[in-house]
A and B are shown apart, each in its own frame.
Chain A
Amino acid sequence: MSAPGSQEFGVRPSLGLSRLLSWFASQNVLLVVGAVIFLTIVALALLAPLIAPYDPNTIDFSQKLRAPGLEHLLGTDELGRDIFSRIVYGARTSLLIGVTVLAFSMALGVPIGLVAGYFGGRVDTVLMRVSDVFLAFPPLLLPIAITAMLGAGLFNAMMALAISWFPWYARIIRGSVMGVREELYIAAAKTMGVSAPRIMLRHALPNSWTPTIVQASMDFGYAILAAASLSFIGIGARPPTIEWGLMVAQSRTKFLDFWWTAACPGLAIFLTVLAVNLVGDGIRDLLDPKSRAR
């Protein structure tokens, strides 16, 4: 028996968008920086054909290993390809990786966590033990093993990452659902004879996916980094795919004398992951202010 209306404080009008944005910007300079960088990268990816000065695949030995300059903004690699253009096209790949890995991870993890959290008991135990098996592997070992089985290539690498990551999402949503299932609106739905799948999809899921979204926004950057790492060791993207990690790998033998061949793609990876993490922090602060780090 709580005090009547104790949750109300009388402040309920909806917020205007511009006011929200300006308040948001004032809270967090880093967030704004991150958002700007991220949006730039998205723009590069979307407008690649318009922005890239050269065709990224054109080989021209006469231009090989040129230092950054007016003709080639970030120089050329050992096959004479313009690095700036390759980075711009590489942005497409990286964003695609982030989205694909997360989509498959969540597609696998969310249903498992939802069912486990909602039903509890034996169903929960079985599902969680199965996904725990995948959790037990060190982060990159499982993807390496899977791509070794399936063969190298960007697509297989992304699937491998999704398979090794889904248990996190399963756990997160399971935790939220276990909290939500005690709410009275779930009980009310049961009394009306609403079926369990419908309760899970219509009631439990919308009320428990916030922590999952927060996690996903932070994982976006990790996905890109992980894929780049896999490409670097040769089991991720392969030529002629343009991927930043692959570019770093390809410059392995040359970069000591020709620093830009490694530094530029490396910097691109760094800035993208940084930007995505800053934006992810901001999303987390917006959706779940209680977890703000001090």
Chain B
Amino acid sequence: MSALLQVRDLRKSYATRHGPVRAVDGISFDVEAGRTVALVGESGCGKSTIALTLVRLLEADGGEVRFEDIRLGQLSRRDDIEVRRKFGIVFQNPYSSLDPKMRVLEIVGEPLRTVLGMRGRALRERVIMHLEQVGLGPEHVDRYPHEFSGGQRQRIAIARAVALEPRLLILDEPTAALDVSIQAQVLNLLIELQRTLNLAYLFISHNLATVEYVADEVMVMYLGRIVEAGPVEAVFAAPRHPYTRALIDSIPLLDPSRRGTLQPLGGDVPSPLDVPEGCAFAPRCRYRSERCTRAAPALEETVLEETGERRRIACFHPLDGPIDGGVA
């Protein structure tokens, strides 16, 4: 049985004054039903662009996207919308993703009204059902967004995203704009919903700890390409790509006995306008060699001997073995 979402060689460039910017440069991945795949990376890596391309807010320049084995983009507009309603999106900013002039009933009801043509009492009852799924209640239906806190607004956004009963949700940094104590609430809600509604998630984030908590698999991105992909705990405990290793080393640990072990990566996050020849990460990489500046390494799948897991790595000198002492 093939995966729910299959992305092959996705490409997206922007034309700018300074030349073309390859925001997404040949990305391929699968998301299986009911599983969570995470995309991590720093700013400019292209992860948000992927999300926008999948929901067709941006048009891809190349590559193929298949959902439930149907190729998107080849269908008539009507069928395309039919398919696309099978996946929903939750944006990062709960303060601007809800129309401030609309009531909750209208916000969550909009997809139901537009796509299913629901109205009146049927619409209201269905909206209440979805609000209850996210931990809100019928008393919230006639209120405006500004009457809610950030966490509650994000719940409303989630209710809106699941209103059409999709099979996949794209979550673009859903907790980044929320307070720490609320993040946990929303993450737990997402995990719960995944179970009860059998949802698959494409979870985009820059926060590795959050990703480890919710995801099954992770893909690490750098300048528009995937540099490493595999099961999340394994990738974070024993990263093979130097960039993944650097990301993990940059995270300050909550353990004061490990103070001073922070090893920052030198250099700046590069601009997508200025992608170096060869491996994009080479200028900042401790392990680079001559080979790395001549050609860009392809993303290749290998099976790790120790664990038997499948890992994809794009590097001429992958690291081996877990990090000293493991990550705690």
Q: Which residues of A contact B (CB under 8 A)?
A: 1-2, 4-5, 7-8, 12, 183-185, 187-195, 198, 202-203, 206-207
A184 in contact with B177 given A192-B114, A194-B114 (CB within 8 Å): no
- In angstroms, how far is the closest chain B Cβ from the Cβ of A61? 60
Count the A-B residue pairs with Cβ separation under 8 angstroms: how many?
Answer: 75
Residue of B nearest to A203 (CB): B99
Given A193-B85, A193-B114, A193-B115: A4 touches B178 (CB 8 Å cut-off): yes
User: Please, how many angstroms separate the alpha-carbon atoms of A197 and B147 in the complex?
Assistant: 28
Partner of B180, one of A4, A198, A202, A206: A4
17 A–B contacts, CB within 8 A, in A order: A4-B183, A5-B178, A8-B149, A184-B97, A185-B98, A185-B100, A188-B97, A188-B160, A189-B110, A191-B57, A192-B111, A192-B114, A194-B110, A194-B114, A195-B114, A207-B99, A207-B100
Task: Using CB atoms, name the residue of chain B closest to A3.
Answer: B177
**Given the contacts A8-B149, A12-B146, A193 and B100 also touching, CB distance less than 8 Å:** no
User: Taking the nearest CB of chain B, how far is it from the CB of A181, in angstroms?
Assistant: 12
CB of B99 within 8 A of CB of A185, answer yes
Bound-state CA distance A207–B115 (Å) is 24
* A residues in contact with B150, CB < 8 Å: 4-5, 8
Shortest CB distance A186–B (Å): 8
A206 B110 Cβ-Cβ under 8 A: no
B316 interfacial by beta-carbon distance below 8 Å: no
Nearest chain-B residue to A14 (Cβ)?
A: B147
- Is B95 an interface residue, CB under 8 A from the partner? yes
Residues of B with C-beta under 8 A to A191: 55-57, 84, 88-89
B183 CB to nearest A CB, Å: 8
Q: Are B95 and A206 in contact (CB under 8 A)?
A: no
Q: List chain B residues, Cβ under 8 A from A198.
A: 114
* Contacts A12-B147, A207-B99 given; does A192 touch B91 at CB 8 Å: no
Q: Which of B57, B81, B110, B206 has a CB less than 8 Å from the CB of A187?
A: B57
In the complex formed, the residue of B with least CB distance to A2 is B177
A116 → chain B closest CB, angstroms: 21
Which listed residue (A4, A188, A206) contacts B101, Cβ 8 A?
Answer: A206
**Is A184's CB under 8 angstroms from B91's CB?**
yes
Given A5-B182, A12-B146, A193-B114, 14 new contacts (CB under 8 A):
A4-B179, A4-B180, A185-B96, A187-B57, A188-B89, A188-B157, A189-B110, A191-B57, A192-B85, A192-B114, A193-B85, A202-B102, A203-B99, A206-B101
Contacts A5-B149, A8-B149 known; A192 to B100 CB distance under 8 Å?
Answer: no
Tell me whether B93 is interfacial, beta carbon within 8 Å: yes
| Residues of A with C-beta under 8 A to B88 | 191
